[in-house]
Structure 1
Amino acid sequence: MSKLHDWQAIAEMKPPPPFALRVTGKVKGYDGQTVELAPAVPQGINPKILMLQLTIKGRGTKPGDLDGSYTDADYKSQFEQVTILYESEAVTVDILLAS
């Protein structure tokens, strides 16, 4: 059963620039924990896919869903998809355009 679910990526392309890319979704974790998303280092071999590494910080006792989000406030429209990496899982979503 996947720990990653309900991920989406939306590019906000309303003029004037700068444009923004917002990635949101959920990961299974515990109350009191926080989710961090950052560009993976190194990125993958496909330059059209942004790879984000998800990490969970802290401890908790009650299982549940944690919200994750990532924003690129100076998005240049260089990606078509986003892949979220967590432990041995990966989920890839298409970037939707909002104008």
Structure 2
Amino acid sequence: MTCSVEETRDWYAWNNLMPPQPDDFHVVGEVKVNNTQIVPMLFPKEPQGINPEILMLQLILIQQPGVGLPVITWVQARYDKVLLNSTYKRVEIFCEDEKIADVPVEDIH
């Protein structure tokens, strides 16, 4: 499906720097969908920008097989990854080419 998101809310991103290694990174938020079979997914945007401290993510809506209930509901979108050599300071989330969220990243020690 194309993105065409009406609303998102409650975006939060953090670098988990607590022991033990390896460190990891997470982004969560909620997306309003109009059918219970739609799953929002976050993927790295191509191309990434020139600043390695800013992660650019693409929001994509996946229509699962089957008949979903035509109910407007909020569904969580989540992105997780292991950090190798650096941490992020900010996340920009896109729906197609439109930036829909600009999220500061918290470091958790």
The alignment's TM-score, normalised by the length of structure 2, stands at 0.79
Partner of 1:52 in structure 2?
57
Q: Of the candidates 86, 89, 96, which is equivalent to residue 80 of structure 1?
A: 89
Judge conservation of contact 2:60–2:95 (CA < 8 Å) in 1. Answer: yes
Using the TM superposition, give the Cα deviation of residue 76 of structure 1 relative to its aligned residue in structure 2, in angstroms.
3.3
SS state at 2:86 partner: coil
Residue deviations 1:25-69, cap 9 Å, x none? 011113121111110000123332100001011164211111000
Judge conservation of contact 1:19–1:76 (CA < 8 Å) in 2. Answer: no
Partner of 2:101 in structure 1?
91
Partner of 2:3 in structure 1?
none
Which structure 1 residue ranges, 4+ long, deviate > 4 Å from structure 2?
none
Cα distance between partner residues in 2 of 1:4 and 1:75? 29
Using the TM superposition, give the Cα deviation of residue 86 of structure 1 relative to its aligned residue in structure 2, in angstroms.
1.5
Structure with max Cα Rg: 2
Q: How many residues align?
A: 98
SS state at 1:8 partner: strand
**Superposition CA RMSD, Å:** 1.8
* Structure 1 gaps, min length 5: none
* Structure 2 gaps, min length 5: 1-5
Identical counterparts, % of pairs: 32
The alignment's TM-score, normalised by the length of structure 1, stands at 0.86
